[in-house]
Amino acid sequence: MKDKELVILAYSGGLDTSVAIPWLKENYNAEVITVTADLGQDSVDKNLEEKALKSGALRSYIIDGRETFINEFVWPSLRASAIYEGQYPLATALGRPLIARYLVEIALKEGGTAIAHGCTGKGNDQVRLDVGVSTLAPQLSIIAPAREWNMDREQEIEYGEKRGLELPVTRKNLYSVDENIWGRSIESGPLEDPWNEPPEEIYSWTCSISDAPQDPMYIEIDFDKGLPVALDGKSLSGIDLVKKLNFLAGSNGVGRIDHLENRLVGIKSREIYESPAAIVLHACHNALETMTLVKEQQRFKNFVSQQYADMIYNGLWYSSHRRDLDAYISSTQEYVTGKIRVKLFKGSCSVVGRSSPYALYDYELATYDESDKFDHSSAEGFIKLFGLPYKTQTIKQD
C-alpha cells in the first residue's frame, strides 16, 4: 500500500470523476477533495457539492472562475487572434490551465499531495492539466485514474454502483461534450466517421440555418485596445457581452465549426464546436486590425497568432514563451480601438462596417473622386525602383 495521499480531484460530477472518488480512496489510500471550476458551462449542477460528498469526498469546492477566465485567458487569446488551425477558438484548451491553477491553489491551501483528473490517455486535456500543474507546483504528483484503471464505460458503472454511487448516466451517452462560456465541443459517436454530417441533435447553442430568422440582424461592437467593451452602444462586462453574443449569433445559426484537427498526441480527430461569440468577436477584432495596423504588423502578427494558438492548444500557458508572445501582442493592440458593424444572417457573420479614431484607412488617399489627395505623379518613379531588380535580371540573365 502506498503512503496516505490527500488528493485534489478536478470534478465535473460526470461518470469518470464520480467513480474516481472511491477509486482513488481504494487504490491510493487517499482522502479526496473535489474542485469544480465554473467557467460558464451550462452544466454546473447546484447539487454538485452534495454529490461529491455523497460519493465519498472529504470536502468539495466550487469556484466561480468566469470573470478570471474571460479577463485572463479568453481576452488575451482574442487580442492574439488565436484560432487553432484556422478553425478552433480554443475554448476547452483555454479552460484547462485555469482549472490547473485552481487545483494547485486548493492543494496548497489544504496541504494536498497530489492532483487528480478524469482525462484519458488519448486526448490533449491530460497534457494541459499535467503540464499546467507541474509548471505551477512541481512538488505535486499527478494521478489520472482513467489512464490507469482500464475499465470501459460499463465496468465503470458497475464499479460505481457496487459502491452505492448515484451515477449521472445510465443509458449510453453517444457524445463526449465539454463546454465553457467561450464554446462547446462535441466528439465521438457517429462523428468519428468523418464522412457523416453532424446530426442536428448535437447542437445546443446554435440553431440550424433553416430555422434561423428570415431577416438579417445587425449589431455593433466597440473595442478598446483590442478588447470588446460595448454591444450596440451599451457597455457590458465580459461575461455579459460573451453570453449575449452567444445567444444573438447562435440564434442566427452562427458559430458551428466542423474541424478535423491534429491533436498533440499524434492523432487526427473530428471535433464539432459551437462558439458563436468567439466567431463574431474574432471577425470584428480582425476587421479592426485591418483598419489600424500597417501591412507588416498584420503580416507578422499572423505568425505570432499561430504560435499563440499552438501554445494554448499544446498546454504551454504557464510558459516564458507566452510571456514573450504577450509582450508583442500587447504592443500591437495599442490603437486597435473603434467600432465594427456586423450582419448576422442565416449562419453567416459578415463585417459590413468599420470605423476607428486611429484608422490608417484615409478616404482622401483611397478615393477616386475629386477629393483625391494621392500623389499620382510619384507613382511612376516608385514603380521604376520597385521593378528595377527584375528589369535588371532580364537584361543580365535572359
Give me the active site residues, please. Answer: 16, 96, 125, 176
Between 263 and 341, name the residue whose CB sits nearer to ligand ARG: 263
Taking CB under 6 A as the rule, does residue 87 contact ligand ARG?
Answer: no
Residue 277 Cβ vs ligand ARG, minimum distance, rounded to whole Å = 17
Between 36 and 124, name the residue whose CB sits nearer to ligand ARG: 124
Residues binding ligand ARG: number (CB under 6 A): 10
Do 11 and 38 contact (CB within 8 A), yes or no?
no
CA–CA dist 138, 363 (Å, integer): 56
Using the rule CB under 6 A, which residue among 18, 77, 185, 292 binds ligand ARG? 185
Q: How many CB atoms are closer than 10 A to CB 321? A: 15
**Per-residue mark of binding to ligand ARG, 250-289 (x: CB under 6 A):** ---------------------x------------------
Taking CB under 6 A as the rule, does residue 81 contact ligand ARG?
Answer: no
Using the rule CB under 6 A, which residue among 92, 292, 332, 333 binds ligand ARG? 92
Residue 278 Cβ vs ligand ARG, minimum distance, rounded to whole Å = 13
**Per-residue mark of binding to ligand ARG, 103-142 (x: CB under 6 A):** ---------------------xx-----------------
Residue 123 Cβ vs ligand ARG, minimum distance, rounded to whole Å = 6
In 3D, which of 162, 161, 156, 111 has the Cα closest to residue 137?
Answer: 111
Where do contacts with ligand ARG occur on this chain (CB under 6 A)?
92-93, 124-125, 176-178, 185, 187, 271
